[in-house]
Amino acid sequence: MKISKNMQKALNDQITLEANASSNYLAMASWCEITGYEGSANFFYAQSDEERTHLLKIVHYLNNLGIAAVIPATKSPASNFKSLESILKTALKNEQAVTAAIHKMVEISQKDKDHSTYAFLEWFVNEQVQEETKFETLIQKFELIGRDKIAINEIDKILAANATYAAADATV
Ligand code: FEO
């Protein structure tokens, strides 16, 4: 089975995006850990692992088609964050960029009449809906609970509870 050069490039570019997402979340996890937000650290470590599973799905897809996947260098992630709220807002923005890239790939697959890649991408389309909703809901907590120390501690616990979901998703 053949996929277009354009599609191959888009999939390889997506590997880079997922790799950068994984290292961004790792930096966020590390900042949370050193700042004392233990639950949030667990959440972001799990999130980082999950991004790696996304990257691997694409690597395997390309390799199974006999197209060598390109393993990219990753950019150095930002590491000095302002607050837990700002991290979550950055995470949502990054996820929105990933969603846009995935939708672009879906359009390429439609244009190419590449039914295999179209079907392969369906999982990613659904995953992004969940990812964006997850971050939107977490960001809302600051309006609902507050931003003082007790509120942040509460939100940290909510992130901890979400970490298990992230880890469970990663095994799918
Ligand atoms: Fe793999 Fe969170 O996008």
Tens of pLDDT, residues 1-59: 799 999 999 999 999 999 999 999 999 999 999 999 999 999 999 999 999 999 999 99
| Separation CA 105–CA 51 (nearest Å) | 18
All domains in the chain, ordered by first residue: 5-71+81-170 (1.20.1260.10)
Residue 93: how many CB atoms within 10 A of its CB?
11
Counted residue by residue, the chain has a size of 172
Mean pLDDT of the chain: 95
Angstrom CA distances, 3 to 66, 84, 121, 125, stand at: 10, 42, 13, 19
Establish whether residue 131 lines the binding site of ligand 1, counting it when its CB lies within 6 angstroms of any ligand atom: yes
What integer pLDDT is reported at residue 172 of this predicted model? Answer: 43
Rg for the chain, CA atoms, rounded: 17
Q: Predicted confidence band at 152 (pLDDT cuts at 50, 70, 90)?
A: very high
Are 8 and 55 in contact by the 8 Å Cβ rule? The answer is: no
Which atom number of ligand 1 is nearest to the Cα of residue 51?
1
Beta strands of the chain (E only): which ranges?
A: none
What pTM does this model have? 0.94
Are 18 and 128 in contact by the 8 Å Cβ rule? The answer is: no
What integer pLDDT is reported at residue 168 of this predicted model? Answer: 59
* Distance from Cα 47 to the centre of ligand 1, integer Å: 8
Q: Count Cβ atoms within 10 A of the Cβ of residue 75 and give its class: 0-12 exposed, 13-18 middle, 19 or more buried.
A: exposed
What integer pLDDT is reported at residue 58 of this predicted model? Answer: 98
* Distance from Cα 36 to the centre of ligand 1, integer Å: 25
Res 170 pLDDT > 60: no
